[in-house]
Structure 1
Amino acid sequence: MTADINKGPLLGQRHLQVFLLFTSIVVNYVAKFNASVAVVAMTDAATTNPDFPEYDWTDLQKQYILSSFFWGYFITQFPGGYLCRRFGAKRTMLLSTLGSSVMGLLPPLCVSWGGWGIYCGIRVVQGFFQGFMFPCVHAHLAAWCPVSERNRLGALANTGIECGTLLSMFISGVIAASSIGWPGLFYVGGGVGLVWCVAWIFLAANEPSQSKFITTEELNYINAEKTVTKELEAGEVQRKVPVPWRAILTSLPLWALVIARSAHSWGFSTLQAEIPSYMKGVLDMDMKKNAFYSALPYLAMWCMSYVYLIVSDVLLNRNILSLTALRKTFNSLALWAPAVGLIAVGFLNQDQTTLAIVLMTANVGVNAGSTIGSALNTIDLSPNYAGILMGIVNSAANVIPILTPLLVGVIVTENESRTQWQIVFIIAAAVFFFGNLFYLIFGRMELQPWDNPDFLLPKSVVDVKPPAEKSEKSELDEKPRKSIT
């Protein structure tokens, strides 16, 4: 077993596919988050470029604009997994980014006559299209990543989240203040998305075997390492294989993942959206007006994502930790350390603002470990249904950012009340703690039996196989079917 494995070129097609996924997340996140800068520039032109139209929108109307994206985003998470399985990741991802990019070009053309309402509508549709993205990302990773490289390549693709968030903060402010003003935010963001779509059309492939550019060595390497339990020979039969919904929806490891990702979403939304409000109200420090302070936590998160990536590679390659131990360790660090940090922030006063910034930055940075800790767990459980699993997980997780501001609004009636904010942080810390505890106990990183395409396949379809092949594999084929009951 010491012979060298021919993996193909040093930078092969699997790396190109991961780079395309990374850039797709970046361009979509820039389009997703540029609204926070755009709304400021559109309602207070003096802060950016006064040569462009200014609109008199209330604070409530601006909040509607910012939140409207998630109304559409939540709706298509679950269907995204099905569409990806039905039409392939290439078509579905193209639809997602193309739709989002076209919507991104419209506000400068429509707001002048439709006002904030039309901007809200555009954001809803944009979120609708972007909801397909992450189910596609996970399905594409499952198809292209060899088992030994899945952790590394999956984490690299997902670093587009931190990179896109960071770029949207820095680039959006620069563009809005430039000669092209706030309309430039939409034209640049939408234009880059359309360029990405062209690259995706020519370079992406649903499966390694469908790529026009892959070498024989790399194709053999990927196929040899795939953990897909069995692929049916006929493509027509593959499309007719039913999804084992009952087995999936009653799978405890899947629900452990759903709870872990929802807990992460609760805590992170508190870190992202509520701590700046706390620091303004209690510590009298308006971080939103300081671009550096606003971006610093996400810069730390992006840097830490690569630290986690390197450390995980070392731990796995040297057999220091198993994949199960690695995921659960990283997820515990990513959720439990910020749980302590959140409570600590609540006890700081106005002469400790520097420490508050350090704690907030550290909390967000350490939280980057959740990508390797749990976000990639869908592929561990089921490469065949990774897109569907991601749709289920993300549907649950994306309800949380809608609910947490409502809870904060009920608890925090006085923005300057430290006690009220401490209750918010204690709740978030408890969700962090117990969500990860459930994942530690019930989370699994092994292939689930319902991943097998034959799991629910009617016996008549299986009998189509040649008799010799059937007799040769009958013992193996019967095991998954027996496990149904």
Structure 2
Amino acid sequence: MLHQNFRHCYVFLIFLVIIIPQRYLLGIMGFLAVVNAYTMRVILSVAITEMVAPKKLTHYDSQTCDLVFENSTKSVSKIFSSKIYPWTSRQEGLILSSFYWGYVITHIPGGIIAEKFGGKHSLGLGILCTAIFTFITPFVIHSTDGNWVWVVVIRVMEGLGEGTTFPALTTLLANWVPVGERSKIGTLVYSGSQIGTVVGNSLSGVLIAATHDWAMVFYVFGILGVLWYVFFSLLCYTDPESHPFISDNEKKYLKEQIVNISSDEKNIPWRSIMTSWPLWALVVAQIGHDWGFFTMVTDLPKYMKDVLHFNVKQNGIWSSVPYILMWIVSMSSGYLCDWLITRKFLSITSARKTFTTIASMGPAVFIIAASYSGCDRSMAVFMFTIAMGFMGTFYCGMKVNALDLSPNYAGTIMAIVNGIGGLTGIIVPYLVGALTENHTLFEWRTVFWIAFGVFFVTNLTFLRFGSGKVQTWNHTDNIELQSTKTTRPVEAAKTKL
């Protein structure tokens, strides 16, 4: 029976390899990579609300919400009384931010390794390491009797593994995705962050409520990460030339469509890269996106519990709702962006700036509106949902911009951009913990106004200095700069699978 199951699985894998164009299969597996990465990243944000002893409010403002809801925090926390720890708000902030201490360290090494040896192994092994450390997290916490320093250590190790994810994915996309499909496939892959957040938040709340054990979420998502690694290793390859099962038609099509990239060994032009205004504009835009996104991903569950007093199951579900709309918007805007560029309604540069502006100012306005919703839980969730919906256009805006600037060094560019942006993951959770020690609406409103300011300034910078053009330092000794114009739709249709 076991042999037959393995045989059926093998036949299914062969079906995937033969039927689905390999660039799309890579896009699907890249999407699932980001889904796994984000589930393992965000589950602690929900779990920690049930790992920490409830804090008594010592300060009230005029809008402090009363504990008047059914199944309130008091009744839920009793269930986990034998497994809770006396961590302070500042310690919680350090624990939640510690993932990013490791995350930012491996970005640039991960990008260099991906460009030198291919993105497959850099991506796969990074996710596998994160999955293993996620799985053993409860063992570390229990064996150290909840010593928060050891929780920080294990989260740093997870971050080290996951830091290679986006540089490796960007290198793979540069090798596999034509310009005319860049927004669609790139958005599919990067939008895995929303689905990962939805799955991580909602399923964590359900699992904890059903099993009365916060440890279960680490076991489940750790195992899922390992399973993804097995399938990815079997199905995906570094580039079309090394793929043993790709069709001749698809290989020919990709060779014709993917330009400005060389397979020869490259010497990274560090000086030109580090003095490039469009690159630093992209870095600033990434800081704006990450500041807002991490504020929501890392700390929205805390807001839902500490201010609005949702119980753990409600917290997981309602904290995930904004990301469902964000994913829908990100996918649809990816198609719209490619259509506008292909039909020449917008240049690549104009498209990237337009969609980035929507993704910056929409969330900036609506998270402020959410903070002024007071204790109206339905209105607050609605405003957060609209805010994150607007944020979905970031992916066809600035997130794929590294591929525009330099297909040859896309992994290195993404490493620099995402690595520096990841520093906000260190700052934001600790800052939120320090600013919201009393869990009042007034304190949280300050957090959201800071996010508004960051969105506004970073977007202005990207509008002024951002670009969608291939940069001159994309040249290598063996490649001449080619046109970035996409193939006309009618001509592309003749060769496209």
TM-score, L = length of structure 1: 0.82
Q: Are residue 37 (structure 1) and residue 46 (structure 2) matched?
A: yes
CA distance in 2, matches of 1:191, 1:371: 28
CA distance in 2, matches of 1:278, 1:41: 14
Q: Report what 1:457 is aligned to.
A: none
1:386 pairs with one of 397, 404, 410: 410
Q: Are residue 430 (structure 1) and residue 462 (structure 2) matched?
A: no
Q: CA deviation at 1:34?
A: 1.7
Q: CA deviation at 1:442?
A: 1.2
Q: CA deviation at 1:285?
A: 2.1
2:244 pairs with one of 188, 212, 221: 212
1:67 pairs with one of 90, 97, 104: 97
Q: Report what 1:339 is aligned to.
A: 364
Deviations for 1:145-165, whole angstroms, at most 9, x for unmatched residues? 012111111111111100011
CA distance in 2, matches of 1:41, 1:347: 27
More off after superposition, 8-17 vs 218-227: 8-17
Q: Report what 1:249 is aligned to.
A: 274
Identify unmatched segments of 5+ residues in structure 2. 1-16, 54-73, 482-497
Q: Are residue 111 (structure 1) and residue 141 (structure 2) matched?
A: yes
**CA 413–158 in structure 1, closer or farther in 2 if over 3 Å, else same:** closer
1:175 pairs with one of 191, 203, 207: 207
CA distance in 2, matches of 1:168, 1:410: 25
Deviations for 1:329-348, whole angstroms, at most 9, x for unmatched residues? 11111111222324444544
CA distance in 2, matches of 1:275, 1:51: 21
Where 2:238 maps in the other structure, the secondary structure is coil
Q: Report what 1:375 is aligned to.
A: 399
Where 1:228 maps in the other structure, the secondary structure is coil
CA distance in 1, matches of 2:370, 2:142: 43
Where 2:330 maps in the other structure, the secondary structure is helix
Where 1:399 maps in the other structure, the secondary structure is helix
Deviations for 1:263-282, whole angstroms, at most 9, x for unmatched residues? 2222333444566766777x
Q: Are residue 450 (structure 1) and residue 450 (structure 2) matched?
A: no
Q: Are residue 128 (structure 1) and residue 128 (structure 2) matched?
A: no
2:197 pairs with one of 157, 165, 171: 165
1:82 pairs with one of 109, 112, 131: 112
**Alpha carbons 1:52, 1:182 under 8 Å: kept:** no
1:300 pairs with one of 318, 325, 335: 325
**Alpha carbons 2:349, 2:467 under 8 Å: kept:** yes
Q: Are residue 93 (structure 1) and residue 116 (structure 2) matched?
A: no
Q: Report what 1:192 is aligned to.
A: 224
**Alpha carbons 2:49, 2:305 under 8 Å: kept:** no
**Alpha carbons 2:111, 2:412 under 8 Å: kept:** yes
Q: CA deviation at 1:56?
A: 3.2
CA distance in 2, matches of 1:226, 1:207: 11
Write the letter of the residue equivalent to 1:244. P
* Percentage of identical aligned residues: 34
CA distance in 1, matches of 2:170, 2:272: 20
Where 1:106 maps in the other structure, the secondary structure is helix
CA distance in 2, matches of 1:180, 1:435: 43
**Alpha carbons 2:137, 2:218 under 8 Å: kept:** yes
**Alpha carbons 2:261, 2:407 under 8 Å: kept:** no
**Alpha carbons 2:285, 2:462 under 8 Å: kept:** yes
**Alpha carbons 1:9, 1:218 under 8 Å: kept:** no
**CA 412–181 in structure 1, closer or farther in 2 if over 3 Å, else same:** closer
CA distance in 2, matches of 1:135, 1:156: 16
Q: Are residue 21 (structure 1) and residue 53 (structure 2) matched?
A: no
Q: CA deviation at 1:72?
A: 1.2
Q: Report what 2:83 is aligned to.
A: 54
Q: CA deviation at 1:112?
A: 2.8
Where 1:116 maps in the other structure, the secondary structure is coil
Deviations for 1:451-475, whole angstroms, at most 9, x for unmatched residues? 1222xxxxxxx7xxxxxxxxxx9xx
Q: Report what 1:235 is aligned to.
A: none
Q: Report what 2:421 is aligned to.
A: 397
Q: CA deviation at 1:78?
A: 2.1
**Of the two structures, which has the highest relative contact order with CA contacts closer than 8 Å and spacing of 6 or more?**
2
CA distance in 2, matches of 1:111, 1:406: 20
Deviations for 1:199-228, whole angstroms, at most 9, x for unmatched residues? 122211111110011001000101111122
Q: Report what 1:327 is aligned to.
A: 352
Q: CA deviation at 1:312?
A: 2.2
Q: Report what 1:441 is aligned to.
A: 464
Q: CA deviation at 1:441?
A: 1.8
CA distance in 1, matches of 2:444, 2:199: 30
Write the letter of the residue equivalent to 1:363. A
CA distance in 2, matches of 1:273, 1:33: 7
**Alpha carbons 1:276, 1:288 under 8 Å: kept:** no
Q: Report what 2:68 is aligned to.
A: none
CA distance in 1, matches of 2:460, 2:218: 42
More off after superposition, 267-276 vs 119-128: 267-276
Deviations for 1:71-114, whole angstroms, at most 9, x for unmatched residues? 21122122211121232211111220111111122124333322
**Alpha carbons 1:48, 1:176 under 8 Å: kept:** no
CA distance in 2, matches of 1:170, 1:422: 25
**CA 207–46 in structure 1, closer or farther in 2 if over 3 Å, else same:** farther
Higher Cα Rg, which structure: 1
Write the letter of the residue equivalent to 2:101. W
**CA 59–319 in structure 1, closer or farther in 2 if over 3 Å, else same:** same
Deviations for 1:227-277, whole angstroms, at most 9, x for unmatched residues? 225444xxxxx1xx3210000000111001001111222233344456676
Write the letter of the residue equivalent to 2:123. M
Q: CA deviation at 1:297?
A: 1.2
**Alpha carbons 1:144, 1:208 under 8 Å: kept:** yes
Write the letter of the residue equivalent to 2:355. F
CA distance in 2, matches of 1:204, 1:315: 30
Q: Report what 1:483 is aligned to.
A: none
Q: Report what 1:203 is aligned to.
A: 235
TM-score, L = length of structure 2: 0.80
More off after superposition, 262-271 vs 85-94: 262-271
